[in-house]
Amino acid sequence: MAEATPVRRRGRGGGGAARRAERTAVRFDVAPTIQRKIPNYDLHSEETLAIIEANAETVLEEIGVNFLDNPAALARWREAGADVRGERVHIPKGLARKLCATAPSRFVQQARNPARSVEIGGDALVLAPVYGPPFVRDASGGRRYATMADFETFVKLAYMSPWLHHSGGTVCEPTDIPVNKRHLDMLYAHMTLSDKPFMGSVTEPSRARDSVEMCEILFGAERMAQGPVMTSLININSPLTFDATMMGALEIYAEAGQACIISPFIVGGAMAPVSVVGTLTQVMAEVLAGVAYAQLVKPGAPVIFGAFVTSIDMNSGAPTFGTPEAAQITYGAGQLARRMGLPYRSGGGFCGAKLPDAQAGYETANSLNAGLLGGVNFMLHACGWLEGGLVASFEKFVMDADQLGTLHKMAAGAAADENAQAMDALREVGPGGHFLGCAHTQANYKDAFWRSELFDCKAFETWAEEGARDTQALATERVATLLERYEAPHIDAGIDSELRTYIERKKSGMPDAFI
């Protein structure tokens, strides 16, 4: 792997380029970050949470965690006071939590367009699209390996989706680009086809370094110094294992002040115990160790308490989604994150369905609502997920993105001001009357109820005359409509040229690799 190419730290771009991006942005309505006005659902008792926390500390001290192929990490832990035996790190009770205390409780991820920067933490909920599928599916072509053209299409759809706040990261794996080079094209797509915030590459430490250097070109030194411009996904190799690839990426990002999601990747019954409390104990132990390590690298590095958890079908071995147990873990991990004072990542549009069908709808709705009520601050996979995360579906992407509007509406709570009390309407209509024509209805009907931009709510006769289309057919049409309306946001020509030059230089310096 070629060494990182030095990048000129731009003094410009921090203010002027950002203001130009905001002035020249393509104008369409984008909902602001959700700010919850409803309570979180605290499912588990104080006693249960205290048991989980105590057991997690016991796991770290007695069982320990592996930091594989990473002598520098072992040295950091040893210096911090851990008992390091080979590659196993035994963390004394209280040490990890003490180290975690320097992590911020909330932070702002800056976007290229400052109007689309997002706060992560507190009562906020940021919605981001699917991440990682090697396959894509659409109604016309079926299931196939993803390409760079597919990746760009998803970035455009995310940009045009009013309820999505974030462009995401690897919205699909462009398998037509060499593995060691595709991260450059993916980052460039996020940087130029959208002006929403995005994620960096984590598949190899040098690719994390490339991500930081490309952001230095895009944002400039001034804005990079103001706070994180990337939030990247660091998966723990559950159970209790931190591999050198992910930790190497974390080290790069933490040192550069970029945010990381520290996320156990758990399939209950396979990579964690089958019980809810047992799984939460493992989640807590892994997050404690991961967040603590990020703070060893750089105290104050922004991090997110992550929890990707699902269960397993004990007959087939396949992961299952939208289950009661997954919701119970989502609620519990949220409670634990809030007790640590950390932002929380979980939830998403999860399903095991092969098609955007009824199974997909039920499982996704269950998962999305658990995320909302569980206090999630950053929801990855909020739209487009299919087949257990193996497939990114264009139709399901817009179906899910449409339904994210219900999360915004639900999170806003119910008003109780004079207009919401509607006493004038009750007096005007009286017993046996009709509210359609009353003054209160006429004044409020446009925004009284959330309304889908996709679903068909027409009478049967009208629906039949218009072709008796199902939801997938309506979604296919919406994908086409959004792409037809798409206009790329403005980007400074000089910055774009520097990005292209950087990518060309990096690609020319290494041979193609497809593994």
User: Can you give the pLDDT at residue 29?
Assistant: 76
- The band of 251, judged by pLDDT with boundaries at 50, 70 and 90, is very high
User: Can you give the pLDDT at residue 11?
Assistant: 46
Task: Give the residue from 426, 474, 276 showing the smallest Cα distance to 307.
Answer: 276
CB 105 within 8 A of CB 227: no
Does the structure show a pLDDT above 60 at 5? no
Q: Which amino acid, one-letter code, is at 483?
A: L
Q: In a 3-state reduction of DSSP, which class is residue 113?
A: coil
Q: Mean pLDDT across the chain, nearest whole number?
A: 94
CB 40 within 8 A of CB 338: yes
CB 208 within 8 A of CB 200: yes
User: Can you give the pLDDT at residue 316?
Assistant: 87
Percent of the chain whose predicted confidence (pLDDT) is above 90: 90
Count of residues in the chain: 515
Gap between the Cα atoms of 233 and 210, Å rounded: 16
User: Can you give the pLDDT at residue 164?
Assistant: 97
Q: Encode pLDDT of 32-66 as tens digits.
A: 999 999 999 999 999 999 999 999 999 999 999 99
Q: Encode pLDDT of 385-396 as tens digits.
A: 999 999 999 999
Gap between the Cα atoms of 404 and 382, Å rounded: 8
User: Can you give the pLDDT at residue 18?
Assistant: 58
Question: In sequence order, what E strands does 159-302 have?
Answer: 231-236, 241-242, 259-267
CB 377 within 8 A of CB 415: no
User: Structure tokens of 401?
Assistant: 């993105």
Gap between the Cα atoms of 239 and 216, Å rounded: 35
User: Can you give the pLDDT at residue 10?
Assistant: 45
Neighbours of 305 (CB within 10 A): 31
CB 365 within 8 A of CB 108: no
- The band of 241, judged by pLDDT with boundaries at 50, 70 and 90, is very high
Q: Encode pLDDT of 105-142 as tens digits.
A: 999 999 999 999 999 999 999 999 999 999 999 999 99
Buried b (16+ CB within 10 A) or exposed e, 154-180: bbbbbbbbebbbbbbbbbbbbbebbbb
Q: What is the pTM of this model?
A: 0.93
Does the structure show a pLDDT above 70 at 349? yes
Does the structure show a pLDDT above 60 at 474? yes
- The band of 9, judged by pLDDT with boundaries at 50, 70 and 90, is very low
Does the structure show a pLDDT above 80 at 8? no
Q: Encode pLDDT of 190-210 as tens digits.
A: 999 999 999 999 999 999 999
DSSP one-letter string for 386-430:
EGGGTEEEHHHHHHHHHHHHHHHHHHT----SHHHH-HHHHHHH-
Q: Encode pLDDT of 128-187 as tens digits.
A: 999 999 999 999 999 999 999 999 999 999 999 999 999 999 999 999 999 999 999 999
Residue with tokens 């929890």: 307
Q: Encode pLDDT of 434-445 as tens digits.
A: 999 999 999 999
SS (H, E, C) 165-196: CCCCCCCCCCCCCCCCCHHHHHHHHHHHHCCC
User: Structure tokens of 159?
Assistant: 């940009």
Gap between the Cα atoms of 195 and 189, Å rounded: 10
- The band of 19, judged by pLDDT with boundaries at 50, 70 and 90, is low
Q: Encode pLDDT of 365-413 as tens digits.
A: 999 999 999 999 999 999 999 999 999 999 999 999 999 999 999 999 9
